[in-house]
């Protein structure tokens, strides 16, 4: 989704802004632009295409300004074009705005402004913002900074939807105003310089101290100072947060792509996520979830709500919650949940899973659940993200920044955290301790097993080279193995653009088997002990119809009819989705590399989906 950066200091803004935009490229975008304050006038440059092209455009100009805002746009209203790119300036070129989010009532606002002789150069919803600021500023008696802030404030009060906004004005060439609601924005505090950005990694190389804005909080930034205001424009005192990540952990670390790096970081991500929640011979610990036995007994239903890969992590948690804690659990896609009138009351626990913590549908589903009286619990990888600020309870995966659009280490970390959380609930509910102990031991072994697995995967690379030209790939599984089938299918289609689907193996005969013909590739996951024989019969059915088969298993399945078997380490079957996905992440990765595509930034996709 769109990315915002801004700089105010003593250095030339242009390279700092381009650097920040480059760091935000992972969010997905189709155009980029910037405004630099040059001698109390705006220099706005923007184009359709990559940040690199914007950088070439910028380098043709001798820009010396030390204050600027910049943006990567992911088109929602209006096609990708230089006119529609941000920043957008008002008609008199005195206010320049970058915006992430959607102004839902932009048509109404545009008509209002047109009635007041404003005109529009783009098809965007954003262009109403600088013009509205101009309109309200013109109503103020004095041209003061307070009046500028008031004009931004009044404008925001007329915007329906979500926004993170950075504003410059030629009337006040030494300040910048920012505000956010339901879209991400952080402020980095430097020494004689300050930064704004859509996420922390963009400016980690410059500062470790960040302020996290809450919804409807405003800030005026100058080189030396940051002043905060609440929604009534009363001054606020805010504590900055020291970020401990080192800047290089957001870089590629010698790997060819972020996705490959992140796949190989999984043992560490799982280890970090286990952290102090689970230690050998001890009960599970979640100090941030102080639930009692009475509370958990009062929960009649759990909804797990998420999108895409995060939703697949929820599928495994559902099986564990129902089998181990005996609490009825449903997994919902957030975009469906928010509109399907789910039956929620005070005896409902709603768990929201989101790597970014900014996914618009998941955030809206959370707000809905809260308004209906449910207890809400957020699981995210990003501290201070919107979802974590809304939920009653929050716990974090510690996968580190995930940059590749296709989620890998966040997924395995999510299942790990959810598994420990289920055990924690089970301990509070005093469920069977010998089963719990076995799962706990297996969780502690996961990082080492993931390492073993990753050290021996050349076979999958070679197999990917053999089959990369396939037009369709089908993934099969039963029980928990279906979850891996669904996630692998998503991984393959999103980065390689190969058509793929996942089916429950038992459903084959009810329709999908009609798709199987000579050389169709069928991938099957076989780890759930009671279901292996049944799954093998299903695989036999596709082999009879000419399919090639790739089998991922932790059992000794000898069958000369299978085209390729990849053996993975055995673990408690509840946890097998954490290991069985790893070779299939690499399978998707190598197929995509073989096709010569950009693995980290697949077409049409954004890392953080902050619009509905
Ligand atoms: C797929 C992928 C997406 C995300 C989904 C939710 O590889 O990454 O399906 O899982 O967009 O994102 P978060 O977890 O940030 O809410």
89 domain residue, yes or no: yes
359 Cα nearest atom in ligand 1: 16
176 in any annotated domain: yes
Q: How far apart are CA 444 and CA 446, in angstroms?
A: 6
Read off the pLDDT of residues 84-102 as tens digits, 9 standing for 90 and up.
999 999 999 999 999 998 8
pLDDT in tens, 128-179: 999 999 999 999 999 999 999 999 999 999 998 889 999 999 999 999 999 9
Q: What is the pLDDT of residues 584-606, one digit of tens each?
A: 999 999 999 999 999 998 988 88
- Please tell me the distance between residue 350's alpha carbon and the centre of ligand 1 in angstroms: 18
Q: Is the pLDDT of residue 313 over 90?
A: yes
| Catalytic residue flag (residue 350) | no
> Contact at 8 Å (CB) between 397 and 417?
yes
Pick the catalytic residue: 43, 181, 409, 607?
607
- Answer whether residue 602 is part of any domain: no
Identify which of 94, 129, 138, 131 has the alpha carbon closest to the alpha carbon of residue 115.
Answer: 131
Domain that holds residue 403: 252-451
**Strand, coil or helix: what is 347?**
coil
Residue having the nearest C-alpha atom to atom 8 of ligand 1: 407
Q: Which residues line ligand 1 (CB under 6 A)?
A: 307-310, 354-356, 359, 362, 406-407, 490, 494, 608-609
CATH code for the domain of 578: 3.40.50.10490
CA 534 to centroid of ligand 1, rounded, Å: 32
Same structural domain for residues 154 and 77? yes
- How many domains, the chain? 3
For residue 489, the model assigns a pLDDT of 98
CATH number of domain containing 156: 3.60.20.10
pLDDT for res 280 = 86
Q: Is residue 603 part of a domain?
A: no
Same domain membership, residue 469 and residue 443? no
Active-site residue, 284 included: no
Instruction: Give percent of the chain with pLDDT exceeding 70.
Output: 98
Instruction: List the residue whose alpha carbon is closest to atom 10 of ligand 1.
Output: 309
- In the predicted model, is pLDDT for residue 28 greater than 80? no
pLDDT of 1 > 80? The answer is no
Output the pLDDT for position 382.
Answer: 85
In this predicted structure, which of 7-21, 165-179, 526-540 has the lowest mean pLDDT? 526-540
For residue 526 the two structure tokens come to: 């076989």
Give residue 15's pLDDT band: very low, low, confident or very high (50, 70, 90).
very high
Let me know whether 94 and 108 are in one domain. yes
Give the domain-ending residue among 194, 222, 247: 247
pLDDT tens-digit readout, 340-387: 999 999 999 999 999 999 999 999 999 999 999 999 999 999 877 889
Q: Are residues 399 and 486 in the same domain?
A: no
> Is residue 82 in a domain?
yes
pLDDT band (50, 70, 90) for residue 24: confident
Report whether pLDDT(116) > 80: yes
pLDDT at 27: 67
Ligand 1 atom having least distance to the Cα of 491: 7
The answer to the question of residue 610 being in a domain is: no
Q: Is residue 474 part of a domain?
A: yes
At residue 430's C-alpha, the angle toward residues 428 and 434, to 5°, is 120
pTM of the model: 0.75
Could you check whether the bond before residue 87 is cis, i.e. omega within 30 degrees of 0?
yes
What token pair was written down for 415?
């299942």
Average pLDDT over residues 504-514: 91
Q: What pLDDT is recorded for position 432?
A: 80
In this structure, the answer to whether residues 208 and 68 fall within a common structural domain is yes
Task: Indicate if 517 and 388 belong to the same structural domain.
Answer: no
Regarding whether 353 and 492 lie in a shared domain, the answer is no
Last residue of a domain, one of 247, 281, 304: 247
pLDDT at 76 over 80: no
DSSP 581-602: HHHHHHHHHHHHHHTT--SSS-
Catalytic one among 2, 307, 325, 350? 2
Residue 253 clears pLDDT 80, i.e. is over it: no
Residue at 611 is within a domain: no
Neighbours of 518 (CB within 10 A): 8
- Decide which of 197, 213, 247 is a domain's last residue: 247
What's the mean pLDDT in 168-193?
Answer: 94
């Amino acid at each position: 989704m769109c990315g915002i950066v801004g700089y105010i200091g003593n250095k030339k803004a242009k390279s700092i802004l381009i650097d920040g935009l480059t760091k935000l490229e992972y969010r997905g975008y189709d155009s980029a632009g910037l405004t630099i304050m040059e001698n109390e006038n705006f220099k706005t440059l923007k184009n359709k295409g990559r940040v690199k092209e914007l950088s070439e455009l910028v380098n043709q100009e001798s820009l010396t300004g030390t204050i600027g805002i910049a943006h990567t746009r992911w088109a929602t209203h209006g096609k990708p074009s230089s006119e529609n790119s941000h920043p957008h300036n008002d008609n008199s070129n005195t206010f320049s705005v970058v915006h992430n989010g959607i102004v839902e009532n932009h048509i109404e606002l545009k008509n209002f402004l047109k009635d007041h002789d404003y005109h529009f150069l783009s098809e965007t919803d954003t262009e109403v913002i600088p013009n509205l600021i101009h309109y309200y500023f013109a109503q103020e008696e004095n041209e003061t900074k307070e009046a500028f802030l008031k004009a931004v404030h009044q404008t925001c009060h007329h915007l329906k939807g979500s926004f993170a906004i950075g504003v410059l004005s030629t009337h006040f060439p030494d300040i910048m105003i920012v505000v956010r609601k339901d879209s991400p924005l952080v402020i980095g505090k430097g020494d004689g310089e300050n930064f704004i950005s859509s996420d922390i990694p963009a400016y980690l190389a410059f500062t470790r101290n960040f302020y996290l804005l809450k919804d409807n909080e405003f800030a005026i930034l100058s080189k030396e100072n940051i002043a905060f205001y609440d929604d009534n424009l009363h001054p606020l005192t805010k504590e900055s947060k020291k970020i401990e990540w080192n800047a290089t952990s957001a870089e590629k670390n010698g790997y060819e792509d972020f996705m490959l790096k992140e796949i190989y970081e999984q043992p560490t991500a799982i280890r970090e996520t286990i952290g102090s929640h689970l230690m050998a011979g001890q009960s599970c610990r979640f100090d941030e979830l102080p639930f009692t036995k009475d509370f958990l007994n009062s929960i009649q239903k759990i909804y797990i709500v998420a999108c895409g890969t995060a939703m697949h992590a929820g599928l495994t948690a559902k099986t564990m919650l129902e089998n181990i804690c005996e609490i009825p659990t449903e997994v919902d896609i957030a975009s469906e949940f928010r509109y399907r009138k789910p039956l929620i009351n005070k005896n409902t626990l709603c768990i929201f899973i989101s790597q970014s913590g900014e996914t618009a549908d998941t955030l809206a589903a959370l707000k809905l659940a809260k308004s209906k009286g449910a207890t809400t619990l957020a699981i995210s990888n990003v501290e201070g993200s919107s979802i974590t600020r809304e939920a009653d309870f929050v716990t974090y995966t510690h996968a580190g920044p995930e940059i590749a659009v296709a989620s890998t280490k966040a997924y395995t970390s999510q299942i790990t955290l959810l598994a420990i959380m289920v055990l924690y609930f089970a301990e509070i509910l005093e469920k069977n301790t010998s089963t719990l102990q076995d799962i706990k031991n297996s969780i502690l072994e996961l990082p080492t097993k993931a390492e073993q697995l990753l050290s021996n995967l050349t076979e999958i690379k070679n197999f990917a080279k053999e089959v990369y030209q396939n037009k369709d790939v089908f993934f099969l599984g039963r029980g928990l193995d279906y979850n891996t089938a669904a996630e692998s299918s998503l991984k393959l289609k999103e980065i390689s653009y190969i058509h793929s689907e996942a089916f429950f193996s038992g459903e084959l005969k009810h329709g999908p088997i009609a798709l199987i013909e000579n050389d169709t590739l069928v991938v099957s996951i076989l780890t759930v002990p009671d279901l292996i024989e049944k799954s093998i019969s299903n695989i036999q059915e596709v082999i009879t119809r000419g399919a090639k088969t790739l089998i991922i298993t932790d059992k000794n399945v000898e069958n000369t009819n299978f085209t390729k078997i990849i053996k993975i380490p055995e673990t408690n079957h509840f946890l097998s989705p954490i290991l069985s996905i790893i070779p299939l992440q690499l399978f998707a990765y190598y197929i995509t590399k073989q096709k010569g595509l950009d693995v980290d930034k697949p077409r049409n996709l954004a890392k953080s989906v902050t619009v509905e």
